[in-house]
Amino acid sequence: MKSVIEVRASIPLAGDELVPPPELFWHPSTLHGQAHVARVLVHGFRLVAATGLIEEMPRLWASVYLHDIARRHDGHCTGHGGDAWERLATLPEVQARFERGGVHADDYPAIRAAVTMHSLGEPKAGDPHARLIKLLKDADGLDRVRLGDLDSDYLRHAEARGMVRFAQRLYGDTDHKLPTGPDYFARLWPEAMRLAALVPDPSSVRADGSRT
Ligand SMILES: [Fe+2]
Ligand SMILES: [Fe+2]
């Protein structure tokens, strides 16, 4: 198993390249904009560390990056995932960034499925991309703490259900406190690591209280 620090380091890019700049979002939103996507990426790194699914990380990173860039409003909307995927074809600089971050051509069918499905529903039985779809949906779902309607029973991984307290703390201690901007993730990450030490996940604490 890799630590969350090792999982983060598996994407060989500086923090200012890990999430979209605010101007890439069609809808400049505080609910679904850069700060939300940065928190979803924190949850993604931690979920991959907890589940051991390290080989999914480049695909999950690209999926998190894209998933909300084509929203037109903050309301219920099933189509913005598919729209985000289609937008990628018009963003050669993002495609180049993904390549530098370790995303390969054969990762794109899974990324397409995850980004499209995140706003549509659950993967069908036998969906070959179910693993990535579920990781994105749980990382995104953990940040529903900002909306006050997260029901942890709906999270798809037991590891994610243990991260709700951290998600609340990450949102409460950073949203509207750290200004968004090109280096937002680079500023959020040390805060996230500080909070993770304060709010350990149940799966990272042994019976005697020491950390794994
Ligand atoms: Fe979304
Ligand atoms: Fe989202």
> For residue range 50-63, what is the model confidence (pLDDT) as tens digits?
999 999 999 999 99
pLDDT (0 to 100) of residue 200: 87
* 86-109 confidence digits (pLDDT tens): 999 999 999 999 999 999 999 999
Whose atoms come closest to the Cα of 84: which ligand? 1
Phi, psi of 126 (to 5 degrees): 85, 0
Cβ pair 63, 115 in contact under 8 A: yes
For 176-201, write each residue's pLDDT tens digit: 899 999 999 999 999 999 999 999 88
Q: What average pLDDT does the structure give for the chain?
A: 94
Distance of CA 76 from the midpoint of ligand 1 (Å) = 9
Q: Are 33 and 25 a contacting pair, CB within 8 Å? A: yes
Q: Which two tokens stand for residue 212?
A: 């794994």
pLDDT at 29: 87
CA distance 57 to 44: 8
Domains of the chain by start residue, with CATH = 4-204 (1.10.3210)
CA–centroid distance, 119 to ligand 2, in Å, is 9
210 alpha carbon to ligand 2 midpoint, in Å? Answer: 33
**What whole-number distance in Å separates Cα of residue 199 and Cα of residue 183?**
25
* Residue pair 167/145 in contact by the 8 Å Cβ criterion: yes
| Other C-beta atoms lying within 10 Å of the C-beta of residue 14 | 10
- How far, in Å, is the centroid of ligand 2 from the Cα of 142? 10
Ligand nearest to the CA of 37: 2
